[in-house]
Amino acid sequence: MNLLGKAMDKNFWKEVREKDCYKKYRDELFYLWKNECEDKDTMALKYSDFKLYWVTGDRGVYERTYFSRRKAMDCAALLSLIYPEEEKYLIKLMDVIYAICDEYTWCLPAHQGQLEPNNNVKIDLFASETGFALSEIYTMLEDRLEPLIKNRILAETERRIVKPFTAVDNYGWWERGTNNWTAVCEGSVGCMLMLLYPDKVDEAMQERFAKSMECYLSGFTEDGMCLEGCGYWHYGFGFFTVYADMIRRFTDGKTDYFKRDKVRTIATFIQKMYLSGRSSVSFADGGRTLSYHLGLLHYLKNEYPDDVLVYDSKYSYNYDGCGRFCLQLRSAIWMDEEIFNNPAPDNKSAEYYAPESEWLIKRTSAYGFAGKGGNNAEHHNHNDVGTFIFAKNGRQVIMDLGSGRYSRQYFAADTRYTILECSSRGHNVPIVDGVNQFTSKDAKATATKYENGVFSMNIATAYKCDGLEAINRKFSFTEESVTLSDSFTYNGNGKITERLVTLLVPEITEPGTVKIEDVTVKYNPEKCVCTIDSEPKNERETCYFIDFALNKDEKEFSVEIS
């Protein structure tokens, strides 16, 4: 049974070697080879780096070496397939696999839990990904890998993944989770078993996988929004798609997720997230710019030709910084030359309202806008009920900062919302009597609707503030501008401050006007005092706060952005 499609066809890899549509793919692999492989020894994973997560909260030092190994393995494996006569690629591949099989654990420190004695068979996102990657490499290159390397792959995948997973009926929370972990972990383990241990994938095991995938899909609203952010759509739904393709092959079409309307709707998510050029919706732990995964989008376009839009390949990527082999492989085997040569028009004017998620995305010829209601307990949550983004000329101007730097503190409940990117003080929402939004499912927008061209909601329940009864926030639109209007029902004595956030330098050019490069923010200077403050976001960026302090007894605020 061929579960990997064209990947098993040597003639296909000749096409990858020769066709112009794969040039970017080849160039990226050669770039990786130069930077991760050529004349470079496989670096040791140090205990002193491993334990930094528990000592300082740092994730980056250990992860850089860990992911460098994965990128080297991916690159060497793919170049071995494209250029089989070049022995150096296979030699490097076996060296890296040997080192990976020697690792104390395939789990990242951030997911390891406490430093328990010899807890080296824990399955997290990256342990499952590693097992899956090794299983695909084994399947495609079995006739060329030396016996010891093949035996090590089988021994280590069985010890680290198969035995811990099959020893229980439910491995842990992610088997019944509703976020990217479920698709990545369950999908990776499932695919690995189908490839290397197909006898274990009986009806009971298939049912186990199916329950997990139902949980994953239930984490999406019916309108198909990924509340975790665009990167997590690529990650979770990418692995889900890989699994769904393989289980359909494994069951001869009996299990086919692509016939489901909800999967079709989720498949159209990423095309809606572009605001202007490459700038994108960065709610939750998303990024402010967006590239789509080429292989994934081409596959979905072939499944749903009337629904999925694939923009020009200049917006695409094939590999990421974590070395996710299954997706990088599928940038080759799922790439469709016809789709590649006939992209959809660039980010044309469009409007998407997701009533269950409470997101509005709007593009005109002049700007891109995204606004949200929602609640403050969503996956990868930020305290951001009522926030919005204004983008123009290819970049966000009034910004959602997106994800911050991942660390232990970033994901710890007692410190997460002290971090600028996660706190409402780093979002385009009011501050009432010095109070920011709080974290809870009860901190939510109410009466959210989009009617007659006006997006409106009440965001008062996101604040614990005495005397605050309502913050009726609405956005109205013209082809050239967005107007934000807030009306407060507030019986307290505290100051009301409206905030806009940007990483570009703002300037008050005259009373009632703030300029942020080519964007103009107009307000009524008789109703508020505008000031600009700043703080470092990281070593490279400064965050600017445009604050409008409402005059005493003033309960209404309006600003026009164009």
Q: Where are the beta strands (DSSP E) in 336-445?
A: 350-354, 359-363, 368-372, 388-392, 395-398, 431-432
| CA pair distance 350, 330, nearest whole angstrom | 29
Q: Are both 365 and 331 inside the same structural domain? A: no
Provide the pLDDT for residue 58: 96
* Boundary of a domain, candidates 291, 314, 341: 341
pTM of the model: 0.97
How far apart, in Å, do the first and last CA atoms of the chain sit? 58
Per residue of the chain (562 residues), give pLDDT as tens.
899 999 999 999 999 999 999 999 999 999 999 999 998 899 999 999 999 999 999 999 999 999 999 999 999 999 999 999 999 999 999 999 999 999 999 999 999 987 767 789 999 999 999 999 999 999 999 999 999 999 999 999 999 999 999 999 999 999 999 999 999 999 999 999 999 999 999 999 999 999 999 999 999 999 999 999 999 999 999 999 999 999 999 999 999 999 999 999 999 999 999 999 999 999 999 999 999 999 999 999 999 999 999 999 999 999 888 989 999 999 999 999 999 999 999 878 999 999 999 999 999 999 999 999 999 999 999 999 999 999 999 999 999 999 999 999 999 999 999 999 999 999 999 999 999 999 999 999 999 999 999 999 999 999 999 999 999 999 999 999 999 999 999 999 999 999 999 999 999 999 999 999 999 999 999 999 999 999 998 888 999 999 999 999 999 999 999 9
- State the DSSP H helix or E strand holding residue 261, giving kind and residue range, or none if neither: helix 261-267
Q: Are both 102 and 46 inside the same structural domain? A: yes
Q: Are both 310 and 356 inside the same structural domain? A: no
Provide the pLDDT for residue 207: 98
- Indicate which CATH number applies to the domain containing 285: 1.50.10.100
Strands 368-372 and 519-523, by their bridges, are unpaired
Q: Are both 361 and 331 inside the same structural domain? A: no
Q: Are both 235 and 384 inside the same structural domain? A: no
| CA pair distance 483, 525, nearest whole angstrom | 16
Q: Are both 356 and 302 inside the same structural domain? A: no
The domain tally of the chain equals: 2
Q: Are both 524 and 392 inside the same structural domain? A: yes
* Boundary of a domain, candidates 293, 317, 341: 341
Q: Are both 262 and 396 inside the same structural domain? A: no
99-133 residues labelled b (16+ CB within 10 A) or e (exposed) = bbbebebbbbbbebeeeeeeeebbbbbbbbbbbbb
Q: Are both 231 and 100 inside the same structural domain? A: yes
Contact 501, 544 (CB under 8 A): yes
Long-range contacts of 154-162 (CB under 8 A, 24+ apart): 154/196, 155/101, 156/101, 157/131, 157/192, 157/196, 158/197, 159/121, 160/106, 160/120, 160/121, 160/123, 160/127, 160/131, 161/123, 161/127, 161/128, 161/131, 161/189, 161/192, 162/192, 162/193, 162/197, 162/200
Contact 384, 427 (CB under 8 A): yes
* Boundary of a domain, candidates 292, 324, 341: 341
The parent domain of residue 175 ranges over 5-341
CA torsion angle 178 180 181 182 (round to 10) = 50
Q: Are both 313 and 371 inside the same structural domain? A: no
Angle at 308 between CA 232 and CA 312, to 5 degrees: 85
Provide the pLDDT for residue 1: 85
| CA pair distance 16, 22, nearest whole angstrom | 6
- Indicate which CATH number applies to the domain containing 405: 2.70.98.70
Q: Are both 231 and 376 inside the same structural domain? A: no
Q: Are both 286 and 403 inside the same structural domain? A: no
Tokens 């009034």 belong to: 398
